[in-house]
Amino acid sequence: MTIKRILVLVSKLMGPSVFLALTLLLGRLSGLLRESIVASVFGVSAQSDVAVILLSLPDLMVNLLIAGGLSAAFVPQLVKASVAEADILARFVGLITTTLFGFLGLMIYVSPEVVLAALAPGRTDQTQLLSGRLLVLIGLALPCAAISGVLGAYINAHGRFFVSGLGTFIFNVAVIAALLLGFGQTSLQALSIGVFAGAVLRVVPQLYYLPMRLFRSPAVLPANWRVLLRSFFAGLFAVGATLLAPVILRAAASLFEGGSVSVLKYAEKLVELPIGVGLGAVSIVSLTAISKASAAGGTQSASNETVKHMRIAFSLGCLATLGSLGFAEPVAQLAFGYGKMTARDVDMVAELFRIGALSIPFAALSMMATNFLYATGRTTTALWITLLALCSLLPMAYFAVKSGSNLYLMVAFSIYQAVLATAIMFKSGLPIISRADIQTSALLDVGLIKTLLISAAPLFVAAIIHFGLALHSPMLSLAIAGIAFLLGLLWVGHSQGRTI
């Protein structure tokens, strides 16, 4: 039996969301280790701010594609298309995205000061750190990230979710290896080598899963290429606007003292861990399921499928928030308490993490409601809602800059996520509260409230043990929290049923 068949068999036995969550966990943990090593090498300084910005570019591109235009236009179309049509779509979208991000890579090489001014206006004095070789490697990494995004979406649409997590893991391992080995280069140059190598290597397992017929498909345009292109860019801009929120906050943080961008990014990485693993797995799997439900039974069927997945995502988000509030310090200490990171730096990361964790349940609602809009062909609606929500972030970011505190920036991010979730839930028309006179699935009912209360109980007990005994070992505290979270997770799975 080949490795490919073994992985497919394991995925079927475990269920797609569970298997995907495990692979995403591998990718996210390696990403956290990557960020931890970056923090230990660069610390909290103006140079670390530049390193963080360069490192986030390929990640931003892949997330933009997989969660954005490809989710909005590509995945639903692939689900509905025949095999031949799907292959033509893949070639078409691959050409568009590679060209687009190749142009962006060229811009980075030609005008690095413009890119740095846009992403970190307070760090334009650090342009001298960006050598020509470094910019070439970062620029070449972007079209590679585009290719990876297209292939990942194509494979996800065919139910091979394992590769998404594996690609992220490979990218992170390449960056970690480059930073540890150094290759006789400066830290920033070694980082750029790792970014380029990771962007190239993450494509390798995806090529292994692709059918050979894809490379022999006729070079013709899809029949609905105009509609596809319009949906693609609407989705790209919609999720681009969502991903723009942390970019705006990091740009605002660059106006503070050196290292403010880095410490904000480190905290964001901790917030992203539960979102990328648990919620990311549910979101990726649910998009395909909701698209199939929409194609087979219309909007009502898609709504029921969305609510089913949303209840689980919301439960996971609430558990993650509770765990983060109670154990922010040991998490930050274990992740970033090394190298050039001081005790004050780690405490600041923990404080920012605790505030950012409040946004996780709202992120769960936004992700699922956005999937519903994508699957039912309402990508433009998602775009406008996201842009309007983003407008609420700008005055809050301005106030935070005037106050001179990173804490207010993270508060602004949590409020933005709440505004976005409220607006997109309202506009999607998904039922929120269960009603006896309407026989449809809804997000909130007595059963879900009981599930949340019972699943949260172990975390409350773990927090009492942590604070009551004043545990000084981060590892011991997190072991207790992990057991409590697992118990809560098992209850969520039991009470909500094995629906995904």
In one-letter notation, the amino acid at residue 26 is L
Please enumerate in sequence order all residues whose Cβ is within 8 A of that of 244, keeping only pairs 6 or more positions apart, or say none. Answer: 390
Mean pLDDT of 364-374: 87
pLDDT at residue 73, as a whole number:
58
Per-chain mean pLDDT for the chain: 79
Instruction: Identify the DSSP state of 160.
Output: -
Are 164 and 150 in contact by the 8 Å Cβ rule? The answer is no
Token representation of residue 99: 């060209």
Are 121 and 98 in contact by the 8 Å Cβ rule? The answer is no
pLDDT at residue 395, as a whole number:
93
pLDDT at residue 25, as a whole number:
73
Quote the CA–CA distance of 377 and 158 in Å, as a whole number.
20
Among the residue ranges 258-267, 278-287, 379-388, 483-492, the one predicted with the least confidence is 278-287
Burial string for 211-231 (b: 16+ CB within 10 Å, else e) reads eeebeebeeeebeebeebbeb
pLDDT of 398 over the 70 cut: yes
pLDDT at residue 293, as a whole number:
85
Residue found under tokens 């898609």: 302
Mean pLDDT of 75-95: 72
Mean pLDDT of 371-393: 83
pLDDT at residue 132, as a whole number:
61
CB 457: neighbour CB atoms within 10 A? 14
Quote the CA–CA distance of 495 and 455 in Å, as a whole number.
10
pLDDT at residue 451, as a whole number:
86
pLDDT of 488 over the 90 cut: no
- In three-state secondary structure terms, 224 is coil
Mean pLDDT of 340-368: 92
pLDDT at residue 81, as a whole number:
67
Beta bridge partners of 444: 433
pLDDT of 238 over the 70 cut: no
Does residue 470 come out as left (phi exceeding 0), alpha (psi in the -120 to 50 range) or beta?
A: left
Among the residue ranges 88-97, 235-244, 447-456, the one predicted with the least confidence is 235-244
pLDDT of 348 over the 90 cut: yes
CB 184: neighbour CB atoms within 10 A? 7
pLDDT of 14 over the 60 cut: no
| Interval 263-299: pLDDT, tens | 999 998 899 887 766 677 777 777 778 888 888 888 8
Closest CA to 286 of 305, 301, 311: 305
Quote the CA–CA distance of 206 and 474 in Å, as a whole number.
37
Are 73 and 235 in contact by the 8 Å Cβ rule? The answer is yes
More confident residue, 187 or 228: 187
pLDDT at residue 115, as a whole number:
73
Mean pLDDT of 450-474: 84
Are 128 and 261 in contact by the 8 Å Cβ rule? The answer is no
More confident residue, 95 or 22: 95
More confident residue, 224 or 66: 224
Angle subtended at Cα 168 by Cα 372 and Cα 291, rounded to the nearest 5 degrees: 20
Distances (CA, A) of 69 to 21, 35, 65, 81, 194: 22, 27, 6, 17, 27
pLDDT > 70 in the chain, percent: 76
Token representation of residue 295: 């194609």
pLDDT of 10 over the 50 cut: no
Quote the CA–CA distance of 399 and 412 in Å, as a whole number.
9
More confident residue, 443 or 410: 410
pLDDT > 90 in the chain, percent: 13
| Interval 152-192: pLDDT, tens | 777 777 766 666 667 788 888 998 998 888 765 677 888 88
Q: Would you list the DSSP string of 360-384? A: HHHHHHHHHHHHHHHHTT-HHHHHH
Are 255 and 266 in contact by the 8 Å Cβ rule? The answer is no
Residue found under tokens 């236009």: 73
Quote the CA–CA distance of 351 and 348 in Å, as a whole number.
5
Q: Band of the pLDDT at 413, cuts 50, 70, 90? A: very high
pLDDT of 496 over the 90 cut: no
pLDDT at residue 500, as a whole number:
42
Quote the CA–CA distance of 372 and 107 in Å, as a whole number.
35
| Interval 107-160: pLDDT, tens | 877 777 777 777 778 776 666 666 666 777 888 888 888 788 778 777 777 766
Mean pLDDT of 348-360: 94
pLDDT at residue 6, as a whole number:
46
Token representation of residue 386: 């996201």
